[in-house]
Amino acid sequence: MSNGWVMPDEVLRDAPAYTPRSFELADLELLLSGAYTPLGGFLGRADLSGLARRGRLADGTPWPVPVTLEVPGGLVSDLDLENPLRRALVLTDLEGAPVAAVDVTDAWPTRDGRYGVGGAVRRLGDGGHGPFQRLRRTPEEVKSLLPPGRVLGVIADRPLHRPQLAQIAHAARTLAAHLLILIPVADQGPDGLPPEVLVRAVFAARDRMPRPRSSRCHWPGAATRSATRCYAPGSPRRTG
């Protein structure tokens, strides 16, 4: 899939707008940041069918999970999928600020009054804001901050207490790995903590995290010598 499409600004001004659900906004951020490469947009029916049958997109590219967008049927009726100038859908954040546009090339009913839509996405504006925005890193930025060697990635979807920290430290020592902490911030965590509280709770444990064996990695504006930390905008996916 490609997101190299171009849409005149006057078309986007007249396009219908929709605020996706939190997990869809998380997927959108991952698409726009390049974290979901080679995907350039939300999947259509051909890709979803190939994914369900073979674990591959329609072009044969392996891919693990569906990345979908669902909208009210009334929005789809305002689009003309055969006309590139009348099939743009503007996506907004929870405050109503435009963050992206979808070039809708596929639409299908999913449940009462709802439609799935597929198509390439294009960033609008600055992409929105979130808690601790400076810690939201693109894949390239994260790679540039990691030292050579192994990396142990840990998804911290709840505060890290002594038992969890001990397990993480043991795994990092066993693997001789640098520690990368990923904090999902799309929604409240399993313990019901708001994202802002979760981030502060994880940061409060930084002095108990293992130090790298060879090198140190610093975040701009974050005083740390023990690990690299960044946001993963999405919540851990549930499958099955």
Cα 211 to Cα 146, 150, 206, distances in angstroms: 13, 14, 10
pLDDT score for 217: 29
Q: Are residues 116 and 41 in the same domain?
A: yes
**Residues 185, 142 share a domain:** yes
How many beta carbons lie within 10 A of that of residue 64, not counting itself? 9
SS3 147: coil
For 2-40, the three-class secondary structure string (H helix, E strand, C coil) is CCCCCCCHHHHHHCCEECCCHHHHHHHHHHHHCCCCCCC
Q: Cα(211)–Cα(112) distance, rounded to whole angstroms?
A: 52
Give the pLDDT of residue 126: 66
CATH number reported for the structural domain that contains residue 87 in this entry: 3.10.400.10
Helix (H) or strand (E) holding 95: none
Rounded to whole angstroms, the Cα distance separating 19 from 208 reads 39
Q: Alpha helices, DSSP H only, in 154-224? A: 162-175, 195-204
Q: Is residue 50 part of a domain?
A: yes
Average pLDDT of the residues of the chain: 81
**Do 117 and 160 share a domain, yes or no?**
no
Q: What local confidence, expressed as pLDDT, does residue 13 receive?
A: 82
Does one domain contain both 97 and 33? yes
Q: For residue range 130-142, list pLDDT tens digits in order.
A: 556 677 777 888 8
* Count of domains observed in the chain: 2
pLDDT digits over 141-152, tens only? 888 888 888 988
* 106 & 27 share domain: yes
32 and 107 housed in the same domain: yes
SS3 119: strand
Taking alpha carbons only, the member of 55, 60, 62 closest to residue 37 is 62
Residue where a domain terminates, one of 123, 154, 182: 123
Regarding whether 138 and 77 lie in a shared domain, the answer is no
For residue 240, the model assigns a pLDDT of 36
Q: The pTM is what?
A: 0.74
Is residue 2 situated within a structural domain?
no
Instruction: Say if 207 falls within a structural domain.
Output: yes
Say if residue 105 is in the same domain as residue 180: no
Q: 216 lies in a domain?
A: yes
**Residue 227's domain is classified under what CATH number?**
3.40.50.620
Strand-pair category, 69-72 with 114-123? antiparallel
Of 104, 123, 142, which closes a domain? 123
Domain C-terminal end among 65, 97, 123? 123
What pLDDT is stored for residue 236 in this prediction?
45
- For residue 4, is it within any domain? no
Can you state the percent helix, strand and coil of the chain, rounding each to 5?
A: 30, 25, 45
Cβ–Cβ < 8 Å for 212, 178: yes
One domain, residues 116 and 162: no
Task: Examine the domain organization and report whether 70 and 137 are in the same domain.
Answer: no
Tell me which residues of the chain have a pLDDT lower than 50.
1-3, 213-228, 235-236, 238-240
Count of CB atoms situated within 10 Å of the CB of 236: 13
Q: Are residues 91 and 41 in the same domain?
A: yes
Residue 64 belongs to what domain range? 9-123
Quick check: is 238 in a domain? no
Beta-bridge partners for 10: none
Report helix, strand or coil for 111: strand
- Cβ neighbours of 107 (radius 10 Å): 22
